[in-house]
Structure 1
Amino acid sequence: MTMANSKTATVYRMVMPGHVCPYGLKMLDLLERQGFSVDDRHLATREETEAFKQKHDVKTTPQTFINGQRIGGYDDLREYFGKSVQKDGDTSYQPVIAIFGIALLLGLAISWYVFETIFTVQALEWFVSFSMVLLALQKLQDVRSFSTMFLNYDLLAARWVPYGFVYPFAEGLAGVLMAAHALPAISVPLSLFIGTIGAVSVFKAVYIDKRELKCACVGGSSNVPLGFVSLTENLIMIGMGLWMGAKALGWMAM
């Protein structure tokens, strides 16, 4: 489909006393950012909406028309302008990037506040511990969904199902304790245990069995593919456990 020369579009969208279609608002914004003048036509009742759908043989609203040609809904309009469209089931690393990005910024921010510089070892420690906490939080939003996806590849969970429920709590607890540099006798073994089991499980599923699975690392509804990200999460936990364990032993020896 090629873009028309006209810069005028007609949009039919639901605008009712108790409901304004969010996709209609996004459609208006997209058209205006593309330089279109919009003839904004409201469907004010359910009856009007159903009559419109029946007349144009469409299943949903809003709908856009350009030069008398129906373009379709919001995703269709994005495609018309050559923009990316997220399809159901498409893999995405966005949740992981967001979590690690925010964790890094938090670590740097606290380092700046405490030490007046971002270039500290503690900033990296906070980055890892905050990452663990944020990842655990994603899993804890729907523990049942997470544990079900986790069963697809985790070796221990497949043998002891309750481990899928325990895991996010253990990851979160280890992250919080490490952020506070408290109780290494608990945080270090936890981090090493879940990190090692996780790394072995992911490596076997992805690199030995060659299975294509979704990762439960950011919760049970994610479309993050199981692989490098999942393995990295577990290796980071192992590394953090070893580092914090070494620091604890150093403090004890002093």
Structure 2
Amino acid sequence: MTDPDTARPDVVSLAPSATATLDAIGASDRLLGATTHCDVDVPAVGGWLTPDYDRLAELDPDLVCTSDALQREIRDELDGRGYRVHHVEPATLSDVLDTFIAVGEAVGRPEAGETLRADAEARLDAVAERVAGKPRPVVYCEEWSDPPMAAGNWVPDAVVAAGGRYPFVEPGERSREVDAERVVDANPEYAILHICGRGERVDPGVVGERAWAVDPEVHVVDDSLLNQPSPRLVDGIERLAEILH
């Protein structure tokens, strides 16, 4: 393996969020490889939860990026194989913003990470100003449909930042299965479908087909806008604000 103390390390990203963040701070030129789920033109190194360790060894990176509790075993495997690993587990919107700085520091571009966070905060402040004083509708966000899963982690924060209310999961808690009674009691005015791995390829009629005595306005958004803890999440909050207000 090459020198792990290289100021500008060559990187393999095993997390789409890390790939998007590296691109946003101008460090995509350091990418040797990424997962098949990443939107970048570099060699594929397997899937998010199924990395190709042989291909990784061939690429010989200085740094490997992972993210989320679901990649802890991968992180540990990489540690055991002698790789330098940058691993993050953001749970809230604030955590996501912190990762921008952390990724920048990991790849020798701390100022770019700080600038990215500052820009994100400015955009969020602008959204807050636009929605201030307006009624806050109840919003149901679904990240999986079979069974229906109410989105957790940073999504509750995202809804609030966009000017809505989200009584389904507390910020920072994992997504959870939701039943009809919970949804009916909350009586959401909006349902946002952002199904993992589906992009915008989702039938909005799925909500109306259920025996739920609610009639929300249904919108489909690209799953990366809400499911990915990267700069895409700020895009998602701006999109939510447009929908709600």
TM-score range, shorter chain: under 0.3
Write 1 or 2 for the structure with the bigger share of helix: 1
Structure 2 length-normalised TM: 0.26
Structure 1 length-normalised TM: 0.25
